[in-house]
Structure 1
Amino acid sequence: MSGLRLFHTTSGVAEVAPRLAEVEADVQDLVEAHMETMLGVRFLASEYSTGPVHGGRIDSLGLDENGAPVIVEYKRATDAGVIHQGLFYLSWLMDHRDEFQRLVRDRLGAEAAAGVLWRAPRLICVAGDFTRYDVHAVREHRRSIDLVRYRFYGEHHIGLETVASVTGHGLVSRTARRRRVTGLQRACTAGGAMAELVAAVDEVLLGLGDDITPVQRKQYRAYQRLRNFACVCPPQRAKLLVYLKADPGTVDLVPGFTRDVTGLGHHGTGDLEVQLRTERDLERAQDLFGLSYTAT
């Protein structure tokens, strides 16, 4: 991991040296077994065949928190071909939408299959390292691509670091992203106080880092790093509901402002609900936004 040093402190202090996997399958097996926790992606299939014409096998197929199709490709160390290989499979996937939706229906049910977000398919490359040429290359493609570096530490720890994360809608300046009219703003009365609050929340969430991709769904707007860290629902009854990945058990809950919604159905993802009615509420919520951002 770039610049990261890990120390064991049980008896004295000893550095835990990072290492690569013995074989690529060690990484793939671990990620597939815990894909939702590690990547925010529901696992669908491993070594999925693209058929005799294309003659390939997709390492992992999944569906992310917002319903976007995901291809995950793994490499033990640095491999210049991983991005091109993943893009080849991504093109295959877009040409075989019916096949993918049948897979989703078989694994996750009809509702998940009906909600597949085809406008934002993703490629996640997990590898021991990437070159600066890899990072430059993903910025030249009009696809959603995440480069994730891994390292094992000892026998019981693995670290994941997002090296680059690019949205699939081309390169858009941060200013332009913030000014773009969102589905949430369209749900508000033009010029109203709630519309201004929606715009302010969008500004604050996008301002937390350069690696954030907004994803618009009918029921909510997600703010995604590798995983969602915030979901904002359309205003209702003069309040804006924001769902965060922060652990409600670590937060002093305030009635009428924050609520633990673990196990309760709601749109978007996250177990901490934040209720915003005014700009002052937004100021109070900024530390919680930051907590959720760092947690993902």
Structure 2
Amino acid sequence: MSEEIVSETTATAGSSKLTNAQKARIERNQAKAQKLREAKLVSHPNKSNIQNINANEERPIGDQTNNVIKVQGTKYIDSGGGFLLEQPVLANKTTGSEADAAVVPIIDDAIAIPVVYEECLDCGDQFADSYLFTNFGHSVCDKCRDTEDRHALITRTEAKAEYLLKDCDFDKREPMLRYISRKNPHNVRWGEMKLYLHLQVVKRAMEVWGSEEELTRQHEQREDKRELGKARKYNKQMKQLRMEVRSSIYTKKIKAVHEHEFGPDSYNEEEDSYTHVCLHCPYTETYEKM
């Protein structure tokens, strides 16, 4: 194909008068021919190994000459990296020129994958990847990362206590807050800690409470409830202590007992006793007169 293109370009170039369209066609054909020549100059990485297989097709198992091994009719190439490359077995023996023709030429025509660059929120420079962007989706480059102040991390427990957030605010409210997991430094047997980006937690708290004033008011209300609960618990313990020390002061009032009003007495001669009955209730009292 390349020879046809070259001959066509040569014949066309030999004409005395050429139009602009013909000249452009000649240039395109020359460029194609040049690419084809360069493609043929590129050798396949396993080209020499294929030739070695054809030249050493009848070698026994274990023959390591030219890094070719034949096992049960299948030929392998020792890559030198700890594994073997399987090579297809050719049906008919081919010459060196035919083996060269069977090799697919490698053309440097790769598709360029576009790289998406992010713009740093602090310095404005573009970057392809950074620690904060990869783990938290925060567009700040590694040069501007401030681990001590602006880009500090906070645990889930501390965030819930400081900003009065619930689990649903982390996991269900969109977008869910991203985090990284780390081993607990206090005890490795405990569960892993979830570390969040502090500024993202503050932003989520503002979404929940609306403003810093409302968050402060919620803190004060909970502090008042906590103090009231402590006071009630203290008073209850003091009352219990006083009852144990001076129990006579805290005797319960007993309900007034019904006072019986008895009717006339009746005498029982056999037992020599007297009996009278209450006029207001069925209570009966038996007694003896001295």
What range is the shorter-chain TM-score in? Answer: under 0.3
Structure with the higher helix share, 1 or 2: 2
Bigger Rg, structure 1 or 2: 2
Q: Which has the higher contact order (CA 8 A, sep 6+)?
A: 1
TM-score, length of structure 2 as denominator length: 0.18
TM-score, length of structure 1 as denominator length: 0.18
